[in-house]
């Protein structure tokens, strides 16, 4: 509202009269002029409206309306000029001027556009001139028409003359045409034949220039008629066959006939084409040869078809010969085999060369009655369904085949196509499987061991005769029942079976008690296996059930025997312990009490010698000395005997013994006591052994000291110590070059107090080798000797049992 107020308010401006300084003269001039202009402008539209109304043919009526608007608007601007002299509504006056400006500018623009159209409008003077020229022409035409009418009459006469003349000519022409048409029809027929022929029909001059070329020629050779006509026929002939073409031309020229022949020509694209050609001479009305016509047939396609046929045949032949099915083709009439494949040859053992031309019955491959049956069926139904039959191979071996036969027509004659699968191996496998099943069933039913199978719900699904017999039930009474029904403790069996079916615990061998139908209980050993289905889920349990009543009895008996034995062992051990204790007491007193008197004998003899020696005669002194020697010897005997007896009682403390080190120590100690002797010692390799070191040491001492003792009379003593392996055992030996002994007494060698030499020769008690023998024996080994008198001796020993088997 406020925005519009300046339009209507006159507060801010001064009335336009101020510009005129309200001078009455100037004021009147403007006001009157403006009033007159406005009056004039308002009158013009009315005049224009009247004009438009009357002149209906007026073009561009709208431009008059534009003028009217424009002029009215101008009138208003002048009215406003008067108004603003007293009222300063300059916005209103400006607005009206703007409307006027818009109307005037539009009209001016439209007027400019209108000018070319307005210029083309004929003015009234021009129209008058044209009318005048037209009237003149009308008068000229009317005179000409009269002249034409006159001439027309003459023309009609001349036309009718000419028409009759033409009719005559037409009649003559029709006769001629009818004759002509007959000739053209024949030619057209020929042309049609040529046009539609599949064979190329080409004519040429005697010089070999092509004169006609049909569409087939175009198709076959690739040249269009335009490209060929007028060109030499040689363009179709491959260079190597040019002579052939020349010869043909010559023969035709000479009037000879050229028989149908096959040759090769070259197409436009260079492709060689096999064609079959017929050539004949073209003669004119006087029977002169004027050209050559040639009919060429493309036989490449035919050749291609032949090749395809051959390939197809080859393929089928390959399939036939190499298929894994034995096949034969024979005539239905007489059974003669016309074809057979390699598989059949393999199956039958006949070579194709000997088999073809004969029937399978002749060959003995099929029995005559079978062959007859087959043919009868083939004649009636045309087919023999696949069936097993026996055939005899060349060597007489019988094979089982699955054979089918069918009648097929070949070359119009019925043949039998037979196909055979060799199923001998399969049949043998079937037989073997059946036998195996029978064996299994036999075993299952008659095995002396119980066997049953439990389904996933714990019910018995099978049970063998042996188990039924064990339990006293019939199969019908147990199958379908829960297996724990036969358990002596049903709850225990039930929990175990259900547990196993749930996968826990794992299958095992265990002992259980079962209850017979009569209620008696007996022990069994059960070994079960979990049965799983393809998905690996538990599908049941298979169990082997063994009646162990007898075993239990035997076990109990063994147990009793064992107990008895143990008791006896205990008693015997006690006895032995007693004996041992007695033995110990005995040897203790021997050790203690027997030696005391000897000491007294020796000691007092010595005392007597010391105290009274000078007064005794030599004989007396000798006797006392002898008493002493005897006492001492007895002391030695007692010592050795005690040592030997200790050896038997002493417990064996086995451990690994470094034999080499042990022997070296012993040897060194013993050699210390042999000062002044020439002794050669030779130590071989001495492997370690398992044994009691103290006892072994004693044995080695005894053997080596023996060797040293009995070689003492040699200038050079040799002692060889070594070991060799014999039958998996280490054999230790001590060899000397000493006195040796007679092998006849070898049995006495290792006895206690047994001596092979007199005491005067070699001192000793005869216990040394007995100790060696006892030591070796206690280790489980063996000791022996080889010797000859004066040729030395060798002692061998082992420390392990002879044979471990």
Partner 1 sequence: MTQTNIIELLLVEDNPQDLELALRALRKVNLCNHIEVARDGAEALDFIFCEGPHAGRKISEGPKVILLDLKLPKIDGLEVLKRIKGDPRTRTIPVVVLTSSKEQRDIVESYQLGVNSYIVKPVNFDGFTNAMRDLGVYWLMLNQPPRL
What are the CA-CA distances from residue 33 to residues 62, 88, 301 (Å)? Answer: 30, 20, 113
Of 189, 346, 646, 791, the residue at the interface with partner 1 (CB under 8 A) is 646
Of 162, 260, 379, 599, the residue at the interface with partner 1 (CB under 8 A) is 599
Q: By CB under 8 A, is residue 628 in contact with partner 1?
A: yes
Tokens (6 digits) for 231: 């060109």
Segments in 502-548 forming alpha helices (H):
none
Of 251, 427, 595, 621, the residue at the interface with partner 1 (CB under 8 A) is 595
Which span (109-117, 586-594, 724-732, 764-772) binds partner 1, by CB under 8 A? 586-594
For residue 671, give the nearest of 701, 696, 699, 713 by alpha carbon: 701
For residue 598, give the nearest of 646, 640, 636, 625 by alpha carbon: 636
Block residue for tokens 């013994």: 657
For residue 348, give the nearest of 424, 408, 417 by alpha carbon: 424
What are the CA-CA distances from residue 161 to residues 152, 154, 165, 170, 335 (Å)? Answer: 15, 11, 6, 15, 99
Block residue for tokens 């009247």: 50
For residue 710, give the H/E element and its range: helix 693-710
Total binding residues toward partner 1, as defined by CB under 8 A:
26
CA distance 589 to 574: 22
**Strand pairing report for 289-298 and 272-283:** antiparallel
Of 122, 230, 505, 603, the residue at the interface with partner 1 (CB under 8 A) is 603
Contact predicate 466/448, CB 8 Å: yes
The helix/strand/coil state of 448 is coil
Other beta carbons less than 10 A from residue 203's beta carbon: 21
525 vs 590, beta carbon nearer partner 1:
590
Of 192, 410, 600, 683, the residue at the interface with partner 1 (CB under 8 A) is 600
The sign of the CA dihedral 204, 209, 215, 219 is positive
Q: How far is the CB of 712 from partner 1 (least distance, A)?
A: 23
Q: By CB under 8 A, is residue 773 in contact with partner 1?
A: no
Q: How far is the CB of 591 from partner 1 (least distance, A)?
A: 5
Q: How far is the CB of 588 from partner 1 (least distance, A)?
A: 6
Contact predicate 603/581, CB 8 Å: no
Q: How far is the CB of 765 from partner 1 (least distance, A)?
A: 13
CA distance 451 to 446: 10
Of 342, 453, 639, 720, the residue at the interface with partner 1 (CB under 8 A) is 639
The helix/strand/coil state of 267 is coil
The helix/strand/coil state of 171 is helix
Which span (87-95, 405-413, 632-640, 790-798) binds partner 1, by CB under 8 A? 632-640
For residue 159, give the H/E element and its range: helix 124-196
CA distance 93 to 27: 18
Q: By CB under 8 A, is residue 632 in contact with partner 1?
A: yes
Q: By CB under 8 A, is residue 630 in contact with partner 1?
A: no
Of 86, 588, 612, 745, the residue at the interface with partner 1 (CB under 8 A) is 588
Q: By CB under 8 A, is residue 550 in contact with partner 1?
A: no
Q: By CB under 8 A, is residue 596 in contact with partner 1?
A: yes
Segments in 298-408 forming alpha helices (H):
300-322, 342-348, 352-355, 368-381
Which span (20-28, 110-118, 257-265, 604-612) binds partner 1, by CB under 8 A? 604-612
Which span (390-398, 521-529, 598-606, 757-765) binds partner 1, by CB under 8 A? 598-606
Q: By CB under 8 A, is residue 606 in contact with partner 1?
A: yes
Q: By CB under 8 A, is residue 673 in contact with partner 1?
A: no
Q: By CB under 8 A, is residue 652 in contact with partner 1?
A: no
Which span (368-376, 433-441, 624-632, 683-691) binds partner 1, by CB under 8 A? 624-632
Tokens (6 digits) for 369: 């009655």
Q: How far is the CB of 603 from partner 1 (least distance, A)?
A: 4
Which span (342-350, 589-597, 745-753, 792-800) binds partner 1, by CB under 8 A? 589-597
Q: 355 to 414, contacts with partner 1 by CB under 8 A? A: none
Q: By CB under 8 A, is residue 247 in contact with partner 1?
A: no
Of 296, 340, 598, 783, the residue at the interface with partner 1 (CB under 8 A) is 598
Q: By CB under 8 A, is residue 631 in contact with partner 1?
A: yes
What are the CA-CA distances from residue 95 to residues 37, 91, 779 (Å)? Answer: 19, 6, 151
Instruction: Supply φ then ψ for residue 718, to 5 degrees.
Output: -120, 135
258 vs 638, beta carbon nearer partner 1:
638
Q: By CB under 8 A, is residue 642 in contact with partner 1?
A: yes
Which span (270-278, 389-397, 585-593, 668-676) binds partner 1, by CB under 8 A? 585-593
698 vs 737, beta carbon nearer partner 1:
698
Q: How far is the CB of 600 from partner 1 (least distance, A)?
A: 4
Rg (CA), the chain: 77
36 vs 607, beta carbon nearer partner 1:
607
Residues near partner 1 (CB under 8 A): 587-588, 591-593, 595-600, 602-607, 628, 631-632, 634-636, 639, 642, 646
């Amino acid at each position: 509202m406020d925005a519009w107020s300046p339009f209507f308010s006159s507060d801010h401006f001064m009335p336009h009269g101020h510009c005129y300084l309200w001078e009455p003269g100037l004021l009147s001039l403007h006001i009157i002029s403006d009033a007159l202009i406005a009056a004039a402008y308002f009158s013009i539209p009315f005049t224009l409206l009247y004009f438009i109304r009357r002149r209906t043919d007026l073009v561009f009526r709208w431009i008059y309306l534009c003028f009217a608007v424009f002029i009215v608007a101008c009138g208003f601007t002048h009215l406003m000029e008067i108004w603003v002299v007293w009222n300063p509504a300059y916005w209103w006056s400006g607005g009206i001027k703007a409307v006027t400006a818009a109307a005037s500018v539009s009209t001016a623009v439209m007027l400019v556009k209108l000018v070319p159209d307005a210029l083309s409008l004929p003015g009234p003077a021009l129209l008058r001139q044209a009318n005048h020229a037209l009237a003149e022409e009308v008068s000229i035409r009317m005179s000409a028409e009269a002249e034409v009418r006159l001439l027309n009459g003459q023309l009609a006469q001349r036309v009718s003359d000419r028409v009759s003349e033409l009719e005559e000519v037409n009649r003559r022409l029709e006769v001629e045409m009818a004759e002509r048409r007959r000739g053209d029809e024949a030619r057209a027929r020929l042309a049609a034949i040529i046009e539609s022929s599949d064979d190329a029909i080409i004519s040429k001059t005697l010089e070999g220039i092509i004169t006609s070329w049909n569409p087939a020629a175009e198709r076959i050779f690739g040249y269009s008629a335009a490209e060929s006509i007028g060109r030499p026929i040689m363009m179709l002939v491959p260079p190597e066959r040019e002579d052939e073409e020349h010869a043909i031309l010559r023969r035709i020229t000479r009037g000879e006939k050229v028989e149908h022949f096959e040759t090769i020509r070259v197409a436009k694209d260079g492709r060689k084409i096999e064609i079959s050609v017929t050539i004949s001479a073209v003669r004119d009305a006087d029977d002169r040869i004027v050209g050559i016509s040639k009919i060429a047939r493309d036989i490449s396609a035919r050749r291609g078809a032949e090749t395809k046929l051959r390939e197809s045949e080859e393929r089928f032949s390959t399939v036939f010969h190499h298929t894994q099915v034995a096949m034969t083709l024979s005539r239905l009439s007489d059974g003669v085999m016309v074809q057979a494949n390699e598989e059949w040859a393999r199956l039958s053992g006949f070579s194709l060369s000997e088999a073809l031309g004969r029937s399978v019955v002749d060959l003995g491959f099929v029995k005559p009655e079978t062959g007859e049956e087959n043919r009868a069926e083939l004649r009636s139904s045309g087919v023999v369904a696949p069936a097993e039959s026996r055939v005899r191979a060349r060597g007489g071996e019988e094979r089982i085949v699955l054979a089918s036969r069918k009648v097929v027509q070949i070359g119009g004659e019925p043949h039998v196509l037979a196909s055979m699968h060799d199923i001998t191996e399969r049949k043998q496998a079937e037989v073997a499987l059946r036998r195996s099943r029978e064996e299994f069933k036999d075993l299952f039913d008659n095995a002396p061991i119980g066997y049953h199978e439990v389904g996933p719900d714990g019910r018995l699904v099978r049970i063998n005769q042996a188990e039924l017999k064990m339990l006293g039930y019939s199969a019908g009474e147990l199958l379908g029942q829960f297996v724990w029904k036969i358990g002596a403790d049903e709850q225990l069996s039930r929990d175990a079976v259900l547990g196993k079916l749930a996968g826990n615990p794992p299958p095992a061998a265990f002992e259980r008690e079962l209850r017979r139908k009569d209620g008696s209980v007996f022990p069994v050993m059960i070994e079960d296996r979990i049965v799983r289905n393809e998905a690996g889920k538990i599908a049941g349990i298979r169990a082997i059930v063994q009646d162990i009543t007898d075993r239990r009895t035997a076990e109990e008996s063994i147990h009793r025997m064992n107990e008895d034995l143990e008791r006896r062992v205990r008693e015997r051990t006690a006895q032995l312990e007693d004996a041992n204790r007695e033995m110990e007491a005995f040897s203790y007193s021997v050790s203690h009490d027997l030696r005391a008197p000897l000491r007294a004998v020796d000691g007092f003899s010595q005392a007597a010698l010391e105290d009274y020696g000078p007064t005794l005669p030599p004989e007396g002194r000798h006797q006392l000395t002898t008493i002493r020697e005897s006492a001492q010897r007895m002391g030695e005997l007692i010592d050795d005997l005690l040592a030997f007896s200790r050896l038997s009682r002493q417990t064996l403390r086995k451990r690994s013994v470094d034999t080499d080190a042990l022997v070296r120590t012993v040897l060194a100690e013993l050699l210390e006591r042999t000062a002044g002797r020439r002794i050669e010692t030779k130590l071989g390799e001495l492997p370690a052994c398992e044994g009691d070191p103290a006892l072994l040491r004693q044995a080695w001492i005894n053997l080596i000291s023996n060797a040293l003792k009995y070689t003492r009379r040699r200038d050079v003593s040799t002692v060889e110590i070594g070991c060799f392996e014999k039958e998996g055992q280490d054999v230790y030996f001590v060899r000397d070059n000493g006195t040796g002994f007679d092998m006849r007494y070898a049995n006495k060698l290792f006895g206690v107090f047994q001596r092979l030499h007199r005491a005067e020769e070699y001192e000793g008690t005869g216990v040394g080798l007995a100790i060696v023998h006892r030591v070796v024996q206690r280790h489980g080994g063996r000791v022996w000797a080889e010797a000859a008198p004066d040729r030395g001796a060798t002692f061998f020993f082992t420390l392990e049992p002879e044979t471990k088997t």
